[in-house]
Structure 1
Amino acid sequence: MMDIGLIVETSQMFRMEIIEKELRKAADKYGHNVMNFSNNTTFAKNGLLGALLLNAGVVDLVVTGCGTGVGAMVAANSFIGVQCGFVADPCDAQMVRELNMSNSVAMPFSKDFGNEGVLNLQFCFENLLCPMKDPMYISPETRQACIEMTKEMDDLKKACQVPIEEVIQKLDKAYLKEALDSDCFRQYFFAKCKNLELARLVRDKLT
């Protein structure tokens, strides 16, 4: 069972109901839990929010997006502890799960969202969340290479980027409140946060 955080960017809030409905449908089918942390703000702030949730152990997977999905992906990958893949179709969903072992996905919620946009969401979420019994793109023998590459990326990020605790300390209270503060965040973050020092830093900034 995974805890999944949904974070939709401000320009796509008009499509929130559809996105959340399809995500919850797939999550419920496979026993996952969805928390909607969307705070009607920019993809830059959403990248920070998603990184905080992942680094704190509040969620196992972040599903985010914007009009094209690209801005959301770039923002997410700016942080340690986040490996965000781009998912525009069910094939992408399968690959970021099996090959990249991503803990975050960014999706385009407007670009190419045509008549079959809802159906595409259904298939993407299905591939992303269903039990992975028979990998489509890799054999069990080569999965170890994917695990090693994921670790290499994590190690590289640690050398190139600063810990999330430093990010929280450097940003001013007004910015953090706009990025983080919501009913959903207050309900789940402090209850589920596995990093007590990080929880203390965030609490101090939000008071």
Structure 2
Amino acid sequence: MKIALMMEFSQAPKNPVVLKQLQDVAATQGHEVFNVGMDGENDHRLTYIHLGICAALMLNSGAADFVVSGCGTGQGALMSLNAWPGVYCGYCIEPTDAFLFAQVNNGNALAIPYAKGYGWGAEINIGYIFEKAFGGERGQGYPAERRESQVANAGILASVKQGASKDLVAGLQAIDPELVKQAVGGARFQKAFFDNARDEKLRAYVSSVLGK
């Protein structure tokens, strides 16, 4: 699995700690991690609004299979990511949230609150979150006897979102172009995207935004 980590400006100083926890878990499970958000206060500036755009492009292009996002409360990132087609983001405070989201909802993104409740032992909690989010087979249901209805409902939600959503490029073209330009302007995002994106339409769109 290819996992993209993205953090906005308010929580950027915590990126090295979060990244290490994610990399440690990913290494034991055979996943690849891309750090495409901010890794410090002086990095290419992103808000949670930009994170939604980045996540939509990474997931819909196939450049990433899963996105770990977050902001101070996690709520802004949650709303921003879920605004876009093809993104199914859950809110995660502790490991049980990650486990249930993986088994019941089987989405492709998490929004984590990196300021609310972030204190002594926070890095341990985040590490356990990642263990539960990415360990084992997803979509197995919980409790097990409810798996059939849970899988069915996840599929129904996907079809509802697809029906209610614009084409991704059309949606991006309908918003302020400066938002998109800022979102895709980071060097690490561009490398992860262009090295891994399989959707030629999205590759061409991002190239046009960057003037390439």
TM-score normalised according to structure 1 size: 0.92
Once the two structures are aligned, what percentage of the paired residues are identical? 30
Match of 1:46 in 2: 51
* Matches of 1:43 and 1:134, distance apart in 2: 27
Pairing 1:42-191 to 2, within 5 Å after superposition:
42-132=47-137, 137-139=142-144, 142-191=146-195
* Matches of 1:170 and 1:32, distance apart in 2: 34
* Matches of 2:170 and 2:138, distance apart in 1: 39
Gap change, CA 1:134 and 1:38, over 3 Å in 2 = closer
Report the aligned-residue RMSD. Answer: 1.8
* Matches of 2:18 and 2:80, distance apart in 1: 20
Match of 2:23 in 1: 24
Match of 2:210 in 1: 206
* Matches of 1:133 and 1:112, distance apart in 2: 27
Gap change, CA 1:134 and 1:202, over 3 Å in 2 = closer
Q: How far did residue 197 of structure 1 move?
A: 1.2
* Matches of 2:192 and 2:50, distance apart in 1: 18
Q: How far did residue 135 of structure 1 move?
A: 5.6
Q: How far did residue 112 of structure 1 move?
A: 0.6
Q: Between 86-95 and 192-201, report the one with greater CA deviation.
A: 192-201
Size of the aligned set, in residue pairs, is: 205
* Matches of 2:68 and 2:138, distance apart in 1: 22
Q: How far did residue 189 of structure 1 move?
A: 1.2
* Matches of 1:66 and 1:123, distance apart in 2: 19
Counterpart of 2:130 in structure 1: which amino acid? F
Residue 65 of structure 1 aligns to a residue in which SS?
Answer: strand
Could you tell me whether the CA contact under 8 Å between 1:173 and 1:206 is conserved in 2? no
* Matches of 2:130 and 2:136, distance apart in 1: 12
Q: Point out where structure 1 has 5 or more consecutive residues left out of the alignment.
A: none
**Alpha-carbon deviations, 1:60-94, whole Å to 9, x = none?**
10000001111110111101101100110011010
Could you tell me whether the CA contact under 8 Å between 2:5 and 2:37 is conserved in 1? yes
Could you tell me whether the CA contact under 8 Å between 1:169 and 1:201 is conserved in 2? no
Could you tell me whether the CA contact under 8 Å between 1:23 and 1:122 is conserved in 2? yes
Q: Does 1:194 align with 2:198?
A: yes
Gap change, CA 1:38 and 1:186, over 3 Å in 2 = same
Gap change, CA 1:134 and 1:84, over 3 Å in 2 = closer
Residue 142 of structure 1 aligns to a residue in which SS?
Answer: helix
Counterpart of 1:204 in structure 2: which amino acid? S
Q: Point out where structure 2 has 5 or more consecutive residues left out of the alignment.
A: 39-44
